[in-house]
Structure 1
């Protein structure tokens, strides 16, 4: 009787001893028992920390472990059970990480370590502990986030450097290809669905989609976004004003939540499938000339610095467009006559070489007409050089009106002009030239209230006339110039070609 009492006291003291010992451990110490048939389980011993952390009564867990398993995060629960079953089968140590629900209602990460031991009846007992590793998981996530952010920033800088190099090495005529490459690269990098560039008319009344990239499977909008009147969209017009006056970025986080006054814009964007978008102004020479934008067709979380990153892209675009415009102006100054705006000899001669090459390879026909304003020195002497400039400009206007965009119209020097008629038969050219002579005849030239009589002579040479001799730009021009001289000799105000003299 005394021995039984002593044994009971020792058991109580032993349980108290282990609880006191376990109370000094940050985590939860436990023994976990699983029946041989895997149908019942309990914690023969579990430290009081389980109540402090999770609000679970150790005495209840002594009988049934279900309440602990109910605290496991739903996404982790299945894998935890599987790992215990595997440890019971193989008797390998059980180590696992899972999220457990605290008394506060929040889930935090815990890590368990235990050693299994098979019992004579086929059941299994694990001796171990589990402790909170939330801090380490947060640090781990922070490191991953930092690494991902570093990788993102490095990738963005590398992308901008590559695109900058392409724009720096930009040659004449390749700006469109470079813009297309930029939109493709930016669209794929930010994983958006569309990236595009719009231009504004001078008075900001119209916007035009000039370039567009779309993710595979996303319908293009560029064909429907030409000459779009901004006045029809009042809310959007206010956003444009903000771009122009304040250099502001337009960010629509959720198209469905646009204000009531943007009902028209909301309907259009919903029709286009847009969920959210960014638009960033493009400036050339200090003036907003358009905007660069990206669309997302799905709800997404944008980076907090998304606007800043897109501003860097728009700055790259702005610089490239400004440089290209300057280069175009310089190029135009070098190949255009400053008085009439027509192309000059520097532009004409390479074009003639190109046309001769196509004629040799493909048999393309063309003809050259040289025009000279009759008695131009007499006109200069009578009304002065400003009057002479006026006549030259008016004749240049006539040439542009009477020719096609595919023809090359140039001022060759002084009062001489050359028109190269593309894709024409030799027999059709006289009528084209006579039409120009007739237009000059019908035009009323008045300078300082003084009417001036103006006529023009012309000489024509066709590529067909060089079947037996090599054709060169100089040979064509020389033949046309000789026939122009013959037209002057024939009384002026006429043309001379291979067939002879023709008058209007």
Structure 2
């Protein structure tokens, strides 16, 4: 080492002087030399802390710098070498952050700063220092994790708020679409492979997959999970009992590690490709009616609060389903006749408007028949109004059994009923109406041990008949009602359509 005396003469400074000076500086002071061809390098000077920190002999580094480079983390080594070469080429200061292996074997972050100086022989000499920044990196990581957690929680709250708004604003009949959207949103947010809802039978012996979302490329299970008998899955039944009695969340961290008592469940889940899963009970009116769940097809680390977050989702589902059931019941009460359970006029008229619209757009055919109980006043007089109610209920049951699910049956008023035969030619309707008349005539009506003969009269009108005038619900019903009157005038127990009177 060289310094200058007061008279300007060069004097040698002992190496231990610089070591003492460097000992008061945090980190490691160094001069690093790299040959012009980049094949050899060494540290002409390096402070003794390099030994304290990394267990590397400073004297050895004076001859060869490889020992320091050997403690660089493998993932950082190539980038450091490239950055040094770039500094040598450009002559710009060199600085870098990398992980270095300490004497105890642990890796910690260090930061280096140095200034290069080109030598006469083309080699480069850097003057600099590097020091431990692990506490800064730890703080940085902590802040990053805190920021990520805040972002996650904020994102989850926004998601729940959006889904809640959708459920609050849903119209009747859209609950399925809202549940499907919830499963998709939750599945993508938590990066799972499946999200689904199952419903239990009343005795908890069967379950059905009612809604399912699957990540792209993941096979769906819904079709094969309908009305599944679970009486032989004893371990799963114990989990259901926990859901029902204590609202417990079922968490399977690793399907392969399920207990021996869950051998059947383990085999089924492995067949479905499930690696881990959560199942959270859904309660409607205080009763567990099913569960909401998510599957992962790969081993993953779940959040510690994962169950709590899924309980929030399940609570949202529970509330939406309970509200939907209540609205459905209220709607049914408003569109169904309380005595017979059939639809009423409030339901019938919009359906007729809908069928007329489809007929105008697509040419779909339909016809309607109006039925009236013959001599109903005499029946009421003979067996009383309760007996009359019984007759109306039995006729409603016959109409339901003799028609299709796609047909519309309504109690039109008093002892009058109306059936809309959907997607049928008008010529096919008389045979169906006659079958109903025959079924009523053959039915043994007995009220309080008194046998009551009952027959119906019917008037039939079809959409095909309206060619000169526009068809409206009122016009169709008016025509059927007129023909019903003609059937009454013709002696009852018959039908009248466009062709005239038809008897059994």
- TM-score scaled to structure 2, two decimals? 0.94
Quick one: distance in 2 between partners of 1:363 and 1:130? 85
Aligned to 1:393: 393
Aligned to 2:449: 449
Deviation at 1:271, TM superposition (A): 2.0
1:175 matches 2:163: no
Quick one: distance in 1 between partners of 2:240 and 2:118? 76
Alpha-carbon displacement from aligned partner over 1:211-246 (angstroms, at most 9, x marks no partner)? 111112222221111121122322222222222221
1:224 matches 2:224: yes
Quick one: distance in 2 between partners of 1:223 and 1:370? 40
Matches within 5 A, 1:457-472: 457-472=457-472
Alpha-carbon displacement from aligned partner over 1:409-464 (angstroms, at most 9, x marks no partner)? 00011111111111222222221111111111221122222222222222222222
Quick one: distance in 1 between partners of 2:89 and 2:422? 89
Aligned to 1:121: 121
Aligned to 2:486: 486
Change (3 A) 1:39 1:426: closer
Gaps of 5+ in 1: 1-9
Partner SS for 2:120: coil
Aligned to 1:5: none
Moved more, 474-483 or 327-336: 474-483
Aligned to 1:56: 56
Moved more, 367-376 or 398-407: 367-376
Alpha-carbon displacement from aligned partner over 1:23-51 (angstroms, at most 9, x marks no partner)? 11121111222233322222222212112
1:364 matches 2:389: no
Quick one: distance in 2 between partners of 1:287 and 1:418? 38
Deviation at 1:131, TM superposition (A): 0.4
1:86 matches 2:86: yes
Quick one: distance in 2 between partners of 1:427 and 1:125? 104
Deviation at 1:198, TM superposition (A): 1.5
Quick one: distance in 2 between partners of 1:459 and 1:92? 101
Quick one: distance in 2 between partners of 1:75 and 1:47? 26
Change (3 A) 1:503 1:97: same
Moved more, 285-294 or 489-498: 489-498
1:132 matches 2:135: no
Deviation at 1:70, TM superposition (A): 1.0
Quick one: distance in 2 between partners of 1:229 and 1:325? 25
Deviation at 1:57, TM superposition (A): 2.0
1:436 matches 2:451: no
1:343 matches 2:371: no
Aligned to 1:102: 102
Deviation at 1:170, TM superposition (A): 0.4
Quick one: distance in 1 between partners of 2:423 and 2:46? 97
Change (3 A) 1:42 1:173: same
Deviation at 1:13, TM superposition (A): 7.2
Quick one: distance in 1 between partners of 2:323 and 2:384? 40
Aligned to 2:497: 497
Moved more, 159-168 or 12-21: 12-21
Quick one: distance in 2 between partners of 1:122 and 1:364? 93
Deviation at 1:11, TM superposition (A): 9.4
Partner SS for 1:125: strand
Matches within 5 A, 1:17-416: 17-416=17-416
Partner SS for 2:114: strand
Deviation at 1:12, TM superposition (A): 9.7
Deviation at 1:202, TM superposition (A): 1.8
Moved over 6 A (4+): 10-13
Change (3 A) 1:20 1:342: same
Change (3 A) 1:498 1:89: closer
Partner SS for 1:112: strand
Quick one: distance in 2 between partners of 1:466 and 1:246? 63
- TM-score scaled to structure 1, two decimals? 0.94
Aligned to 2:3: none
Alignment coverage as a number of residue pairs: 495
Quick one: distance in 2 between partners of 1:125 and 1:461? 105
Quick one: distance in 2 between partners of 1:430 and 1:122? 109
Change (3 A) 1:84 1:363: closer
Moved more, 191-200 or 328-337: 191-200
Gaps of 5+ in 2: 1-9
Quick one: distance in 2 between partners of 1:356 and 1:38? 89
Moved more, 87-96 or 329-338: 87-96
C-alpha RMSD of the superposition:
1.9
Change (3 A) 1:464 1:37: closer
Aligned to 1:4: none
